[in-house]
Amino acid sequence: MADKKTEKKTALVVSAHSADFVWRAGGAIALYAGRGWEITVVCLSFGERGESAKLWREPGMTLDKVKANRKEEATRAAEILGAKAIFFDVGDYPMRIPDSTLYDLAGLYRKICPEFVLTHSLKDPYNFDHPLVSHIAQEARIVAQAHGHEPGTPVIGALPVFLFEPHQPEQSEWKPQVLLDITPVWPKKYAAFQEMKAQEHLWHYYERVALQRGVQAARNSSKSIQYAEAYQRVFPQVTEELQ
């Protein structure tokens, strides 16, 4: 086994659809990848039914073609951000997650031992897939902590979980508790946006979100910040200092 001190730190992003991680956590991914971390992005579905309207308007489009297109887009976007994308292909609209997928995700937790997890909000009345994935990401974390689950495989610790910003936060009862400065990596995040051609209508929307969060981050600090991402914590922060 490699010396833990020489191993790269890791983080996990659990995304419902193939583009969610780009809009909501692309800055965090690029920021930590730039620091030498290994970032794994899990996409539970390709967003083939509910988030690919532009593709379905093309003549002769099929479900398999949409899936292949969305997979290619997400793979290229992840590469731009410096992450590795994994696709579980459980379907969407509606999304149904079998126990086998839960166990696969728990196994991934144990394999990569992430320092933190980024995933969806706990509520989203506009998209039931999102809170379902938030639930499964947290349940898999708990399973991966259980000594009685696959005894002999090392368990993970109590890693923090951060919920990225939903499309309409007020209706999702989501509050920004962490504002992350992504100004240095904004060009990478926007370049990843441009790979998501099936949802081009969202490029400028999420640019405006990043600018707004940047204004709020600057006002809540002494730093000059142009672009930011916002997150909500699931668990309390444990610290030795208040600052």
pLDDT of residue 151: 95
Tell me the percentage of the chain whose pLDDT exceeds 70: 98
> 226 exposed, middle or buried (CB, 10 Å; 0-12, 13-18, 19+)?
middle
Residue 243 pLDDT level (bands cut at 50, 70, 90) = confident
Residue 210 pLDDT level (bands cut at 50, 70, 90) = very high
pLDDT of residue 134: 98
The per-residue DSSP string of 148-211 comes to: TSSTTSPPP----EEEEPPSSTTTTT----EEEE-GGGHHHHHHHHTT-GGGGGGHHHHHHHHH
Please state the rounded mean pLDDT for residues 146-162. 96
**So what CATH class is 10-232?**
alpha beta
Quote the tokens at residue 243: 């600052």
pLDDT at 30 over 80: yes
Residue 180 pLDDT level (bands cut at 50, 70, 90) = very high
pLDDT at 2 over 50: no
Regarding pTM above 0.85, the answer is yes
Please state the rounded mean pLDDT for residues 69-79. 98
Please state the rounded mean pLDDT for residues 119-148. 98
Average pLDDT score, the chain = 96
Residue 7 pLDDT level (bands cut at 50, 70, 90) = confident
pLDDT at 26 over 60: yes
Tell me the percentage of the chain whose pLDDT exceeds 90: 96
Per-residue pLDDT tens digits for 90-110 = 999 999 999 999 999 999 999
φ/ψ of 144, rounded to 5, equals -70, -15
pLDDT at 1 over 60: no
